[in-house]
Structure 1
Amino acid sequence: MDRITLPHGELAPMTTRRTRWREAGQSGNYGRRFADLISAGEDVDGEARLADTLLPRGARVLDAGAGMGRVAAALLRRGHDVVAIEPDEALVRQARQTYPGLPIEERDILDLGPGDGPFDLVVCVGNVLVYLADGTERGALGALRDVLGENGRILVGFHLRDAPPHARAYPAAEFEADLAAVGLRVDLRAGSYELHPANDAYGVWVLSRA
């Protein structure tokens, strides 16, 4: 059971949207879909290509909410020092089977602390933020901010419309208000990982400390 820390430090059960997604069998569907795409030789590196352009060679990268590890593995192949975290046990297992040697931990974003950094880039793509437990968005964004290096950045992407099952609606204006509240600024907003113009269907942001 996922847990959340209450104001006095005690832990209480927390149902994340990701938990409901997993319990509905969507975790397995997601894993199979990307396994099939990879086996078929399809291009699944769009997010990683954009992330790579934001980095010098050999940079330190955190993939937060890594799923079955495809983005982390692509950045590892490009020569970066990558750490991946993913709270879903089945997806962590699949990542280890698909990408032997990939450094991935079964861990939640809310468990991160300043001692886990510093990272040159945090990658948080593929609808991770819209599966957080209600009311934890600012806590998660603050945790990602806290592991950034001096000039570190965050790459975020999620559906603004037609979100996948059990995901929340997270309008761009609300997301950007949450960013400002935790001391992050928008350096770039686009509508795809190929940097098409911003739109109302999908949001991609590059963020840094305000």
Structure 2
Amino acid sequence: MSTPTSRAKTRWELAGPANLGYGRHFADLVDRGADVAGEARLADALVPRGARVIDIGSGMGRVAAALTDRGHDVVATEPDPALRAQSRATYADLEVLPHDALALDPAEVGTFDLAVLVGNVMIFLAEGTERSVLARVGDLLVPTGRALVGFHLQPVKAGSRTYPADEFVADAESVGLRVVHRFGSYELHEPVDDYAVWVLARD
């Protein structure tokens, strides 16, 4: 797996201790039996059974684990060591690669029917890397593949950015991706001003 020798720190990394507890919060919800699989249900509906799925920024593993349970071939990748540790503690059988999106080489990991970037991944990227990340997502998709992307359009946690819908669409289109759908939730509500769920495809 290729790993850059130097790179700009992500907004998540720069926030440091301010984001501690994120993984534990979701682990507590899992322990209480709460429904934490909303994103996974939509992802599952976008692909046939047994699809290849990559979960980029898999966090504490809840989406990747749910998709694995639904019969998909899932690759999870999470650069934050604390979140990987939480993932191991909650989902011991889920293997998680320690790489960010730009370190994922299609020649090594292959290509996928679906790429998942949920949990506000896009608003915590390193400054100025949004188009590079979206381009890499496109590289990781089979010709008919799609990407499921979800994030708040306004900052919600320390370090996150404002990412207006029109800017995101322009960034996606600039690297050969097009918007197939935009929703306001993972239950396919109509678009709203504060949160966006996107389904993207290659041009």
Contact 2:53–2:75, Cα closer than 8 Å, also in 1? yes
Q: Which residue pairs with 1:14 in the alignment? A: 8
Q: Which residue pairs with 1:99 in the alignment? A: 91
Q: Which residue pairs with 2:40 in the alignment? A: 48
- In the TM superposition, what are the counterparts of 1:77-88 in structure 2 within 5 Å? 77-88=69-80
State, as a whole percentage, how many aligned pairs show the same letter: 56
- Range moving further from structure 2, 154-163 or 56-65: 154-163
Root-mean-square deviation (Å): 1.4
Contact 2:154–2:161, Cα closer than 8 Å, also in 1? no
The residue type equivalent to 2:75 in the other structure is V
SS at match of 1:197: coil
The residue type equivalent to 2:180 in the other structure is D
Per-residue deviation, 1:161: 2.9
Asked if 1:130 corresponds to 2:123, the answer is: yes
Contact 1:73–1:99, Cα closer than 8 Å, also in 2? yes
Q: Which runs of 5+ in 2 are unaligned?
A: none
Per-residue deviation, 1:114: 2.4
CA deviation string 1:62-105 (max 9, x = no partner):
00000000000000000100000001011111111211111211
The residue type equivalent to 1:17 in the other structure is R
Number of equivalenced pairs:
200
Per-residue deviation, 1:12: 4.1
Match of 1:75 among 61, 67, 75: 67
Q: Distance in 2 between matches of 1:173 and 1:13?
A: 27
Q: Which residue pairs with 2:160 in the alignment? A: 167
Q: Which runs of 5+ in 1 are unaligned?
A: 6-10
Per-residue deviation, 1:33: 0.8
Q: Which residue pairs with 1:152 in the alignment? A: 145
SS at match of 2:146: strand
Q: Determine which structure has greater relative contact order: mean sequence separation of CA pairs < 8 Å that are 6+ residues apart, divided by chain length.
A: 2
Q: Distance in 2 between matches of 1:104 and 1:171?
A: 30
